[in-house]
Amino acid sequence: MPPLARPALVGVAFFAVVCAALVGLWGYMPKGEVKWYPSLWMRLAAISPLFFSSRIAPLVFKTLGTRMNGQDRLVFAAIFGAGVGVVAILTEAAIVTLTFAQTEPLTFLEVLFAPLSSRYTLGIFAGISFASSAVLAAGFVGLMSVPIRVLSLEQQSKARDAK
């Protein structure tokens, strides 16, 4: 297993907690309730990986001890993006199942394994699905945010050592 797998999986675990909270809210909040704004919470959950770089970057820096090179970025982004994608697809299927549970006899597995041509998705950003939005956010985090934060941590470490 690559050394950057652990920090990436920590980020995936953070996202899984956010998604579990979203599914919990979806299941237990009253339907049609104006005060809880489900589409707003879905958007926030989809872009939540953007807020994880400050937690993940120190783990990456501790693992590598230096800035991320191109291969490190790709490995980290691939593991983080794939993990976030799997969690997002599971979350999207759970929300679709909860939403249509009373009107259509759909099971979680039917929604999850539906063919791509007739797949249920939840469009949240201009028709982009929840899962696609989350993967795009994870890609940005993996390729840009975390490497920049790791570079910043390296510069801080060098400045501290120079004193």
Helix (H, G, I), strand (E, B) or coil at 144: helix
CA distances from residue 122 to 70, 113, 129 in whole angstroms, order as listed: 33, 15, 5
Q: Is 116 exposed, middle or buried (0-12, 13-18, 19+ CB in 10 A)?
A: exposed
CA distance 51 to 35: 25
> CB–CB of 140/50 below 8 Å?
yes
Q: Phi and psi at residue 132, in whole multiples of 5°?
A: -65, -40
Q: Per residue of the chain (163 residues), give pLDDT as tens.
A: 788 899 999 999 999 999 999 888 887 876 666 566 677 788 888 888 988 888 899 999 998 888 888 888 999 999 999 999 999 999 999 988 888 777 777 888 888 888 877 777 777 877 888 889 999 999 999 999 999 999 998 888 888 888 7
Q: Which pLDDT score is estimated for 44?
A: 85
Q: Which pLDDT score is estimated for 36?
A: 61
Q: Which pLDDT score is estimated for 78?
A: 94
